[in-house]
Amino acid sequence: MPGQSEDWNLPKTWYRKVLKDWEIDRLLTDLEARTKQRYRQSAKKALLLGLLCGYSLKKISKDLHRDNGGVRTGLSNIYRDIETLTGQADNSVKSSNLVYILERYGYRRGSVVSVIQRCDIPHNLPAPTYTEFIGREMDMNKLLERLSPDHGAHMITVHGIGGVGKTALVLETAYLCLKASCENLAGTTRFDAIIFTSAKQQELIPDSILRRQQGQRNLRDIFREIANALDDPTIIQSPPNDQFDRVRQSLSKQRTLLIVDNMETIEDRDQVIEFLYNLPICVKVVITTREQIALLPIRLRNLPPDDGLQLIRQQAEEKAITINDEDSRQLYDRTGGIPLAIVYAIGQVSSGYSLNSVLERLASATGDVARFCFEQSVQGMKGQPPHKLLMSLAIFPDSPILAAVAEVAGLTATPDAVNNGLARLQQLSLVNLNTETQRFEMLSLTREYALAELAADPDFEREARRRWVRWYLNFAHSFAGEDSEKWIHYNKLEEEQGNLRAVLYWCKDQEHYEVVRDLWLLLSQYANLYAYWDDRLDWLQWLIQQSERRGEWSSFVKIIIRKSWLLIRECSSLSLKEADEILRRTWVLRDHADLCVQADLAESMARLQIRQEDYKDARYWLMVEEKLVIEANLKEQQHIRYFIPVLYHQAEIFYLEGEYLLAKKLFQEVMKSAEKINWHRVINSAQNWLADIAIEQGDRDEAQKLLIQGLTVAESSKNKRRLARYQRSIARWEKKWGSAQKAYQLSIQAINSFKHLGMTRDAQKMQTLLDLP
């Protein structure tokens, strides 16, 4: 039947089993003509499943050729028979899960399984629920290595959150071992018997969580499954006290792989673990569990992007749906690379739901995925420190450090509770400690669930948010501020950049103006010089409006200065015009600010006039600035800090006027003054100017020395604006004395950097230099 199977949205192995003759093909064609569009897929499924369940072709044809109500009745009858066949609960089989249920009961036959079916080695492995196993190569190799008789491991655990693929990995490995055992293949561990037991109580299927009716939930159930697999009824016929000895004796007769799936739901875990510990050395035990157990563990995390995207493509192809690269990436991000969530999501899409609605369901704490993956682990810890820590961790969009989590959870006074709680979350694979960064990481799916838990406890959320804001305000006071004082701590700000921005946005949404104001004024120097946040002008405009509305003029002046700094740096005609307007309007309000802030305002006026090439007016404002600094009567360190900009901009004017000797003298004075207060950014900047002067004066060696020294500092400080200017200066040096090719490459880098930073005039000037012969 070429060309038919692609449209059916059913696994290809079914077609090989059922679609064998032209009569069925012709019947399907007839069904498509007679049934309305909405019933066609149901009719096809009913036909195939009816044949599998033993219906005659004549009966199926009769049922499905009635009116559409007859189709529904026929399908209902088939579903009820499938429930009887598979032991499912009444009315549990539906169109959305019937393929899944039949596959679970062995109706799908892959190539590996067909080979194994001809094998006489005792085993009870369930049929795989996938057509192709994707990823996990390193984990599988590690598991195979530990299953080797040469490895001393007796018990191995595979742990991770629900849905991460623990059972799938263990079963795929077991199938490889079984195939090697059946065909006597070298290179893979061989066993004489493979036994699978599972205490799994539920399965996630495309439209619900399916409760399992069977399973090995205690030690006696495990004994019974071992007896059935080995065909040794004497085990369960023995008195209860003798059954362990009988099992041990039976297992000791061959090399056995015993799998205990879902250990966390076993009722008498201590007895089961004691039993497993005391098994003969010829038995290898693999345990899957959501809880970390110190038995040679293999921890499964989410699939990396490449494997996750491959699984999305494979599932989409298998279910005959189309999903583009952008949607695939969005689906991967929302699922966090959890295989079960990916399979569930694609199944939902194939059932007719839109991708957007599926993504929303994935984020819902009451959705099937969240309930399946987290509910069992989380519900038992509510009201306890682990639960508080889990909800607190979710508040941070970026991985937090221990001190921040403890503070937000309100547990700083009880460090033992913090350590034990975080250890418990790690045991349950809800949280991971990154040993390199010492930060606690959480999958996106876990975070969405924890945020919903947080929203369900408004009293705790209110206090946790308050502690969160307070912690980051204290953090900013410690590490943010003027780069003349705090620059050495700016790397700490970089590590917390995402969390700091989250605090700002949350406080803005809550109309906490004072917090946003204080936090932004602390962060603005770092954001302008190092972070280059794209939305900083928006933040400043919001603060300006809020401070003006409140009549808070002292803050208004400070915020205007910071906005003008960005506008002047952009240096377009429109930005310079706006800077001129807001600075002149603000100068009238200068008396609301202290003398140091007024000096900063005068400096902004001078910087604006320099960019407008009005050097006379610029000198006037520098004189005003100098006077204000003197009148402030500052202590020596502070006086140097506020007097340096006067010297710096005077030197800059001399350079622009071509007075290189005067400029050099003043920049050298700037460097000496900056060294007294360790203002390294200014030292680095002055060194750049001195290198430019050396280039203009033809001093090749001096320019090269200054540029090499300054570039190293600029790179280590991560000041992108300063780095771009060094690239520009080195390009000039290379063009004059070095390699034309290097000059071109550095010019391109500088242009791109200036454009990225919004420094339009600098980019244009660099382009002009690049175009010159």
User: Could you tell me the sign of the dihedral formed by the alpha carbons of 342, 345, 349, 354, in that order?
Assistant: negative
CA distance 9 to 180: 33
Neighbours of 583 (CB within 10 A): 22
Do 517 and 547 form a contact (C-beta atoms < 8 A)?
yes
CA distance 75 to 628: 89
Q: For 399, which DSSP code?
A: P
pLDDT in tens, 642-664: 999 999 999 999 999 999 999 99
Neighbours of 502 (CB within 10 A): 17
pLDDT of residue 109: 34
CA distance 591 to 604: 16
Could you tell me which residues are beta bridge partners of residue 289?
Answer: 159
DSSP helix/strand/coil, 764 = helix
Neighbours of 61 (CB within 10 A): 17
Mean pLDDT lowest among 169-173, 294-298, 670-674: 294-298
Residue 101: is its pLDDT beyond 70? no
**Among candidate residues 88, 262, 304, the one with its CA nearest the CA of residue 163:** 262
Residue 5: is its pLDDT beyond 50? no
pLDDT in tens, 174-190: 999 998 888 888 888 89
Do 449 and 370 form a contact (C-beta atoms < 8 A)?
yes
DSSP helix/strand/coil, 501 = helix
CA distance 197 to 251: 15
Token look-up 């005792």 returns: 122
CA distance 677 to 170: 62
Q: What percent of the chain has pLDDT over 90?
A: 42
Do 205 and 348 form a contact (C-beta atoms < 8 A)?
no
In the structure encoding, which two tokens stand for residue 215, read together? 């399973």
In the structure encoding, which two tokens stand for residue 255, read together? 């090399």
Query: How sure is the predictor about 34, in pLDDT bands with cuts at 50, 70 and 90?
Result: very low
**Radius of gyration of the chain from its Cα atoms, rounded to whole angstroms:** 35
Residues 6+ apart with CB under 8 A from 762: 571, 724, 725, 728, 754
CA 703 to centroid of chain Cα atoms: 45
Token look-up 């600029």 returns: 714
Do 445 and 308 form a contact (C-beta atoms < 8 A)?
no
Pairing of strands 283-289, 256-261: parallel
pLDDT in tens, 712-742: 988 887 778 889 999 999 999 999 999 999 9
CA 459 to centroid of chain Cα atoms: 28
CA distance 220 to 240: 8
Give 54: exposed, middle or buried? Use CB within 10 Å, 0-12, 13-18, 19+.
Answer: exposed
pLDDT in tens, 500-512: 999 999 999 999 9
Query: How sure is the predictor about 62, in pLDDT bands with cuts at 50, 70 and 90?
Result: low
CA distance 380 to 376: 7
Longest Cα–Cα distance in the chain:
106
- Looking at every residue in the chain, the average pLDDT score rounds to 82
Neighbours of 266 (CB within 10 A): 25
DSSP helix/strand/coil, 439 = strand
Tell me phi and psi for residue 441, to 5 degrees: -105, 150
The 8 Å CB, 24+ separation contacts for 457-463 are 457/391, 460/388, 460/391, 461/391, 463/410
Q: Which helix (H) or strand (E) holds 172?
A: helix 166-183
Residue 56: is its pLDDT beyond 50? no
Domains of the chain in start order, with CATH, are 5-97 (no CATH), 111-299 (3.40.50.300), 305-371 (1.10.8), 380-456 (1.10.10.10)
In the structure encoding, which two tokens stand for residue 47, read together? 């036909």
DSSP helix/strand/coil, 161 = coil
User: Could you tell me the sign of the dihedral formed by the alpha carbons of 348, 351, 354, 355, in that order?
Assistant: positive
CA distance 561 to 166: 57
pLDDT of residue 263: 86
pLDDT in tens, 231-290: 888 888 888 788 888 888 888 889 999 999 888 888 888 888 889 988 988 999 999 888
Token look-up 């020294």 returns: 709
User: Could you tell me the sign of the dihedral formed by the alpha carbons of 455, 457, 462, 465, in that order?
Assistant: negative
Residues 6+ apart with CB under 8 A from 437: 399, 495
Query: How sure is the predictor about 517, in pLDDT bands with cuts at 50, 70 and 90?
Result: very high
pLDDT of residue 200: 76
Do 449 and 373 form a contact (C-beta atoms < 8 A)?
yes
Query: How sure is the predictor about 598, in pLDDT bands with cuts at 50, 70 and 90?
Result: very high
pTM: 0.68
**Among candidate residues 617, 611, 669, the one with its CA nearest the CA of residue 644:** 669
pLDDT of residue 210: 54
pLDDT in tens, 543-593: 999 999 999 999 999 999 999 998 998 888 999 999 999 999 999 999 999
pLDDT in tens, 533-552: 667 888 899 999 999 999 99
CA distance 608 to 617: 10
Q: What percent of the chain has pLDDT over 70?
A: 79
User: Could you tell me the sign of the dihedral formed by the alpha carbons of 230, 231, 236, 239, in that order?
Assistant: negative
Cα dihedral 116, 118, 124, 129, rounded to 10, equals 40
DSSP helix/strand/coil, 745 = helix
CA distance 730 to 187: 59
CA 707 to centroid of chain Cα atoms: 40
CA distance 296 to 155: 7
pLDDT of residue 536: 83
Report the half-sphere exposure of 375 (CA within 13 A, side-chain side): 12
Q: For 5, which DSSP code?
A: G
**Among candidate residues 546, 553, 549, 489, the one with its CA nearest the CA of residue 523:** 489
Do 730 and 539 form a contact (C-beta atoms < 8 A)?
no
Distances 734 to 254, 740, 744 between C-alpha atoms, Å: 76, 6, 9
Could you tell me which residues are beta bridge partners of residue 158?
Answer: 288, 298
Neighbours of 687 (CB within 10 A): 24
Most confident range, picked from 50-54, 299-303, 348-352, 648-652 = 648-652
Neighbours of 233 (CB within 10 A): 10
Mean pLDDT lowest among 373-377, 446-450, 469-473, 617-621: 373-377
- Quick one: average pLDDT of 55-83? 56
Q: For 6, which DSSP code?
A: G
- What single-letter amino acid sits at 20? K
